[in-house]
A and B are shown apart, each in its own frame.
Chain A
């Protein structure tokens, strides 16, 4: 692989890997303990089965351990939201409602004020 130089790094800092619709599942020790791997599998299998075009991605822990497994969903036309306590059933509901019909799912949204 090519060794990077300064210009490569500066160019890379202007890229955006998050284009298009995506679902991000938090895969960290606490998330996995709460069942995040199952959640991830449901998203991968079901979106493929239903032919929904969406990137299934992984990320680390956002820190809301009490609400694991956590899933961030960004779909066209809708603001980005974070769902918490997403087990298999909630995952299916998110696919059916949020991804397929553009309707947010009740009772699982966690929206904490944070500055980054």
Chain B
């Protein structure tokens, strides 16, 4: 299956104005809780999650979204506890996780490179970008380098077709979008992220 992995960190690309309006409107109903208190234990987090979704019919996918936005993937022990809390069989949870590309079973790499393979990007050379990244990092799509530094994902249309070809690399404050790319630029971008501590400091 193709891989779609745009973590909710993408949210924070728009963080600046997002935050102002969120506080203005003290979100209630549909908000996805993201900033859980770090001091909470795993059990408390899962219990909180389960309380939030238990009474809503058919909300397993929403609960899993919350898990993934917290952990970056769905860890096995969390899935097991969630199954217990929501009173659904573990098999049902795994059935859903493995069906949807969005959910991950393994922890993400430090720098997640997502190359868009929508039609516009495809026509404008995304396959060559993927080839270049694969040869530079020595990994295939969907894989993580052995040092855990880079992960390469191929994603469905990011909706920036006017800027094709496009790829994103996650940074601390959200995904950085690189547009109208060439093979050469890709190498430069990877070199930039390879430098130790390059991104944390900014």
Contacts and interface: CB of A to CB of B under 8 A. Distances in A.
B17 A30 contact: no
Most A CB within 10 A of own CB, among B13, B160, B166, B177: B160
Interface in A50-68: 58, 65-66, 68
A65 B16 contact: no
B118 to A, nearest CB: 12
Contacts of A66: 162
Interface size for chain A: under 10, 10 to 19, 20 to 34, or 35 or more residues? 10 to 19
Interface size for chain B: under 10, 10 to 19, 20 to 34, or 35 or more residues? 10 to 19
Contacts of A65: 160-163
Interface string A85-109: 0000000000000000000000000
B180 to A, nearest CB: 9
Given A65-B160, A68-B162, A33 B179 contact: yes
Contacts of B16: 37
B71 interface: no
Interface of B: 13-14, 16-17, 158-163, 166, 177, 179
Interface of A: 27, 29-30, 32-34, 37, 58, 65-66, 68
